[in-house]
Amino acid sequence: MRQRLSVAEYTRGILAGDRTLLGRAITVIESKLAEDKVLATEILQSILPMTGKALRIGITGVPGVGKSTFIETFGQYLTSSGKRVAVLAIDPSSKKSGGSILGDKTRMENLAHSPHAFIRPSATGLSLGGVARSTRETILLCEAAGYDIILVETVGVGQSETLVKGMTDFFLLLMLAGAGDELQGIKRGIMEMVDSIAINKADGTNQQAAALAVNEYQNALHHLPGSSSGFVPKVIACSALEGSGIDAIWQMIQEYEVLTRENGFFAKNRQFQNLDWLHDHIRQNLEDQFYGNAKVKAKLSASEEEVREGQVLPATAAQQLINLFLGKH
């Protein structure tokens, strides 16, 4: 069994940018062992003063949009300009699918070999809340390790987009042109969340379709309520394969950062995200304690059976279990 390192050893390694120790620290954070949870908290507390300096970018997109190719091309563009880049994935679907991000990591081979990049898939089998919590904490570790840009990729669909939005500074949606009824195929909720849209695969015979898609999405964005960030979302055509449009996307993200730092939204947004994180922890910890309670465990299956058979209302059964947990009669 590998020897457990001290908090000081982890902290020194992370602050020195040691990728192996960074990876081991993330494993500690994802662990469900009680002693690892204590260690994780101590590591995070010790590196906290060195966090918060990176730009956090969320990236989402429909299946087949070329997300991994885009992230690799974008990541290489950033590292070539002297930035250190960490790529993290939120993959709540991995429990069922076996985890597509591992495939993504092999597809991002060039970026993975860069000494200025760090790629980390989310642990398979974590619940949505668990993935979100460990990804937030991993962001802090990567920032302390000196990464300037954190790219958070959402692999799953649905709620994972909301999670990524809630832990990043800028949220980019990747779309395809010429896929037919693009606007009908994407949820309005995601359109309202994003800070900008990139139409990928705008190369070869697809360039004209991409130009049309840019206009369509730009018009669609105009009909949505204005963002509280004060930034007007843009739509940019790009080709991750050819590397075109990548510089325009980076320039746009930088414009967003300058604007939101100046108008105060950037700092306010992070403060709200930290408060959300606090309440997520409270909910998760209470839930863990509730289901771990011996009295609740003894009564839970009988209560579930009564609810299933329609003998007791779910609200009544829930209150009875909560009273049991709180020691009320």
At 198-222, the pLDDT tens digits run 999 999 888 888 998 898 888 888 8
Return the exposure string of 35-67: e unless at least 16 CB atoms fall within 10 Å of the residue's CB, then b.
eeeebbebbbebbeebeeebbbbbbbbbeebbb
Ranges in the chain annotated CATH 3.40.50.300: 51-263
How far CA 325 is from CA of 128, 212, 320, in Å, comes to 24, 59, 9
CATH number of 51-263: 3.40.50.300
What are 164-194's pLDDT values in tens digits?
999 999 999 998 886 544 554 566 677 788 9
Residue holding tokens 């992070």?
270
pLDDT value for 117? 96
Type of residue numbered 218: Q
pLDDT at 71 over 60: yes
Structure tokens at 91: 């993959």
List, in order, residues 6 or more apart from 307 with CB less than 8 Å away. Answer: 313, 314, 317
Q: pLDDT tens, 220-277? A: 888 888 889 999 999 999 999 999 999 999 999 999 999 999 999 999 999 999 999 9
pLDDT tens-digit profile of 78-89?
999 999 999 998
* 76, two tokens: 């290489």
CATH topology for the 1-49 domain: 1.20.5
Give the Cβ contact number of residue 34 at 10 Å: 8
- As a whole number of angstroms, the distance between CA 25 and CA 10 comes to 7
SS3 117: strand
CATH 1.20.5.170 residue ranges for the chain: 1-49
Reduce the DSSP state of residue 199 to 3 states and report it: strand
Q: What H or E segment, with its residue span, contains residue 153?
A: strand 149-154
| pLDDT tens by residue, 15-24 | 999 999 999 9
Q: What's the pLDDT at 154?
A: 86
From the list 68, 127, 132, 45, the residue with the least C-alpha distance to 94 is: 127
The residues pairing with 120 across neighbouring beta strands, listed in sequence order, are 88
pLDDT at 96 over 80: no
**pTM of the full structure:** 0.89
